[in-house]
Copies of this chain bind each other. A is one copy, B any other.
Amino acid sequence: MSGSGGSVPKGYDSSAYPSFAVTVDIVILTMWEGRLHVLLVRRGRDPYAGTWALPGGFKRPDETLDDAARRELREETGVIAPKHLAQFGAYGDPGRDPRTNVVTVAYLAVMPDPGGLRAGTDAAAVRLWPVADAVENLPLAFDHHRILSDAIDRAAEQLEQTDLATAFVGETFALSELQSVYEELWQAEIDPANFRRSLTTLTPTTASPDSYVTPTGKRAKASPRGGRPPELFRAGGAWSTQPPVRRPRRPKERPDEA
């Protein structure tokens, strides 16, 4: 405990503490064309200029971490109101940022399929990437690959415990849309009949004055490849007490071929 206290704030006596920059980084997940996507930005300046990265930036002293996440989300991507935004981890390994000591607080954001923003517009500095590609093939700046992986793990967990699934869909939605959220994040197939039942019928254990989904009476248009048009539902209040779908415990058996 040596070191003379230099320009430390008043009233603090000994052993100056080291100084860090604090950032927030945001993993924004959404469903696009039935697949899970993550929103990334291309960095315009060093370090890692030209590399894809999670949107984020420096926390300011007069704002909370949550506010910083909301602000950076808006400034860097134009996303105003994600349906879910929650912190899931902090990352502070030495050297994770070549500039200086940076500790980042990572956020998971979820939004429904965005109308304006589109994947594939390569000229833009912001685009959606399929998460499978982003995790397996794409080089990411800093330790953002690890942060992205952690975010996906966390999202998969939270599907079972919260109403997170409903954050991926719009105000009204077909049950098949919701089902694809679970299937993408859990990498598992779900029987549509059983999925429907678990959402539309309340059981003794999931007793609740409210329901998980309520029919709107309207129907979406059928898919271009035919099929019956699906009924549109709205999310109900039962999610807060008891999420309806539990993650399959038994992984799908692959039949042995002789």
Contact = CB atoms under 8 A, between A and B. Distances in A.
Interface residues of A, number: 40
A89 B89 CA distance: 6
Counting chain B CB atoms within 10 Å of each CB, the highest count among A17, A91, A99, A242 belongs to A17
Contacts of A20: 19-22, 59, 61, 103
Given A19-B21, A249-B205, A105 B90 contact: yes
Interface of A: 9, 11-13, 17-22, 45-46, 58-65, 87, 89-94, 99-101, 103, 105, 157, 161, 204-206, 242, 249-250
18 contacts: A9-B99, A11-B46, A12-B100, A18-B21, A18-B60, A18-B61, A19-B20, A20-B21, A59-B92, A63-B94, A65-B90, A65-B91, A65-B92, A87-B89, A87-B90, A92-B105, A103-B105, A206-B249
